[in-house]
Structure 1
Amino acid sequence: MVAPVPADEIARLTAERDRIRDLHLAPRDDRPASAARGIHHTALISGDVLRTVEFYQDVLGFPLIEMFENRDLAGSTHFFFDVGHGNTLAFFDLPGVDPGPYAEVLGGLHHLAISVTPESWAAARERLDAAGVPYQLESGTSIYLRDPDGARVELIADPLGEMYGHQVG
């Protein structure tokens, strides 16, 4: 359980966030172009390949597009789902390795936000209901859920570059 943050610490954190924003966040028209082309793939760990495929493809609606042996661990499977715009979500299983239960740790995954159309969002919600997968609705455009291995996933129906009516890109 997370302990509440005292008011004086919230004020200090807010001031620090404002200071960093003032130092480093340039207005949109003054920002240089990114050196990146996008995220090639994000790789997560799967405890069960079939269960992961059935969840991400059949429940969330992201087609499985590739599967091969992981070059780093003989017998391990590396597999990919299409999440739109040329982006992929990848997984590894790790036979013989006990990664332990999902945990939010420094450098780890807090949540994975995947952009979907409002129509796909509604369809995914119906499939989540049919599969009995618990989720939380937020702000009318986000569904937060946990995948079969406990990773937090957000399906967000806001347009790319927006979050809850604010530009983020």
Structure 2
Amino acid sequence: MTDKPVHRVRGVDHAAFPTFDPAATVRFYRDVLKFPIVHSICAAGWGPERHPDFIHFFFDIGGGDRLAFFYYFGWEPAGDQTAPGDAWARLPHGTPKFFADSRHLAINVEDEEDLLEYRRRLDESEWPVEMQVMHETIESIYTHDPNGYMVEITRALRPVTPQEDLDAELTLRALCDVASGEAPSMDQLLTRKAELIVERAASWEPTGKELV
């Protein structure tokens, strides 16, 4: 193992929160604050039994940092959500664990060596690693801090490509189109996304260099 500083963290990879209004969330962060959409994950049939389908989408907030949101199909919080700043306090006792854990902090490290070092430190502490997951573009370990908040430590497996950024933009356009409708679902989102891909493809100009 090479010598490295004791402090290995390079900053926040992303902070994540749930959203009940993805269209307004996109308008605020992308259109008002000008944070581009850079990645999205369509998760169907993921996780433990009865875990809802969800979209996990990311905004580039500069400096290599991202802000992320979850939209869960078919799940709404109970209680009055109209008072600014007080909505979370009125979520009922027994709110699903997947919803509580969607609000988490993800910390970025450089490589597998660093990730395994943090796993070792956590496993030797009062807060051992609860799971280690290989995602689409990152590998992560997870635990809960003393306050009960989920903490993720993650390393990049590869860069996110411009094509994936475009896929994220189309995914979010589709989500905004279907989320305000009646009983939105993953099937509706994928159908709408396919329509948007067809619409975009119809506008592409042939260059004569396409692969055949």
Q: Which has the higher contact order (CA 8 A, sep 6+)?
A: 2
Give the TM bin, normalised by the shorter chain. Answer: 0.3 to 0.5
Q: Scaled by the length of structure 1, what TM-score is found?
A: 0.39
Give the TM-score, by structure 2 length.
0.31
